[in-house]
Amino acid sequence: MSDPSFYDVPGNNCDDDGDGTVDNPPTCDGSLSANGSAEDFAKALGICTKASDKGYGLVSATFTRGHGITDAPKPDQHGVLPKFGDVLVPREGKTLGVLSTGYAQEYDGAPGVAFGGENDLGMNGKDWKTRGTLPSGFPKAAKGCEQDSTVHDPIDVVLELKAPPNAAGLKFDFNFLSGEWPAYICSKYNDGFIAYLEAQGFNGGQADNMSFDKDGNPVSVNNGFFDRCTPNVDTGCAPGAKSGTSVCSGGAAELAGTGFGVIDQWCQVYSEFGLGGGSDRSTSGGGTGWLTSAAPVKAGETFKLEFIIWDTGDGNLDSSVLLDNFTWAAGQVQAGTERPK
C-alpha cells in the first residue's frame, strides 16, 4: 500500500510514498557548511524530512556538552565532511557527520598531526578542558577492563525525531576511531561512544545504548569490532593497560590520511617514561570500520536519539566517530550492531 505520509523505505522495491518512483528516499546534504548547525548535521546523516512539514522526521536538533545539559560543546568538535582521509567516504549522499573529543576533521587540528599525539608526552591530542555528563551507568567498562568515571571533552548531538507511520525501527552507520590504540588497550582511560535511544518501542521503553558488540561491550578500543589497525605489533604498553599483540584483521588501509594512520613507535612512546614496550612501528590509532546499528521504534512515536562521544579520565588522546546513512526500517527490527551488508 502506498501513502504520501509514508517513508520510502530503501531496498523494499515498493513505492511507499506513492510519488511514482520506487525506492527514492530524499537526499539533502549537497551544500552543507563544514561547521554548521545541528540541523545541518542531521541532514549530513540523511535525515532530510521535518516533522513539521511531512508529519515525520526531525523535530529538533541540538549540540550539547553531554546528556541532560544545555551547555554547548566547542564548535571544532563537530563537522560535516565530504570524506575522512584517503579511503573513507560517505555511506549515503555527499557528506558524513563527525563528532570528536579533539577536532572533527582529518588530522587533529593541523595537517599531519596524529589523534594519538606527538612523540612528545606534552602533546597528547587536544584537551579542550571541558567536563560534561553522561546517562546513568556510563562510562561503562568493557568486560575484564577497569573504567574511570570522569568525563572530559564530551560532545552530544541530541536528535528529537518522529517516526513515520510505516516505520518499525531505525538504522544508521558509524565508524569509531581512536588514538588510544595501540598503547592504552583495556585501560581505565578508554574513550567511548554511545547511541543513546529513548523510545517506547526500544528496550521496553527504558532508555539505553543501542550500539554494542556481541558481548554487550560499548564502543571503545576494547570493542570486538575494533579491527582497523596494524596487525602483529605490541599493544597495551602504557601503565595500567593490558599488554598483548594486535590481530587487526581489518588492516590499516582505511586509516590513511585520517590522522589515525601516522606511522611511528606509538606503543613505546606511551610506555612508562617512554622506555618500555616494543619498538614496533604502527599506526597512531585504529578504528572499527563502518558498522550498522538498528533498533525498534513504534510507528508514529516521537522519541530522542543522542550520539555522544567523550574522553574518559583525562583529556589526553582523542577519538572521533563518523556518522551517516540514517534510515527508517520496516518489518521485524531487532536491536544490534553488525557489519553493513
Q: How much is the pLDDT for 12?
A: 76
d(CA 28, CA 66) in angstroms, rounded, equals 27
Best CA proximity match to 154, nearest among 275, 72, 262, 247: 72
CA distance 32 to 45: 11
Residue 10 DSSP SS3? coil
Evaluate whether residue 158 is within a structural domain.
yes
Report the DSSP beta bridge partners of residue 85.
Answer: none
In a domain, 29, yes or no: no
Instruction: Note whether residue 27 is domain-resident.
Output: no
Cα separation, 87 vs 96, in Å, equals 13
Does residue 23 lie in a domain region? Answer: no
Question: Which residues form the domain of 262?
Answer: 38-338
Instruction: Give me the pLDDT at residue 270, please.
Output: 84
Is there a domain that residue 22 lies in? no
Q: How many domains does the chain have?
A: 1
pLDDT of 3 reads 67
Residue 7 lies in a domain: no
Mapped onto helix, strand or coil, the DSSP state of residue 33 is coil
Predicted confidence at residue 21, as pLDDT, reads 74
Could you give the CA distance from residue 33 to residue 41 in angstroms, rounded to a whole number?
Answer: 9
List per-residue pLDDT tens for the chain, 341 residues long: 776 767 777 777 776 665 767 667 778 999 999 999 999 999 999 999 999 999 999 999 999 999 999 999 999 999 999 999 999 999 999 999 999 999 999 999 889 899 986 555 555 789 999 999 999 999 999 999 999 999 999 999 999 999 999 999 999 999 999 999 999 999 999 999 999 999 999 999 999 999 999 999 999 999 999 999 999 999 999 999 999 999 999 999 999 999 999 999 999 888 876 556 667 999 999 999 999 999 999 999 999 999 999 999 999 899 999 999 999 999 999 999 999 98
Cα 118 from Cα 115, distance rounded (Å): 8
H or E element: which one contains 235?
Answer: strand 234-235
Kindly state whether residue 5 falls inside one of the protein's structural domains. no
Please check whether residue 14 lies inside any domain of the structure. Answer: no
d(CA 100, CA 153): 9
Q: What are phi and psi of 70, to 5 degrees?
A: -110, -5
What distance in Å separates the CA atoms of residue 219 and residue 209, rounded to the nearest whole number? 10
Identify whether the C-beta of residue 21 lies closer than 8 Å to the C-beta of residue 15: yes
- Cα(38)–Cα(78) distance, rounded to whole angstroms? 9
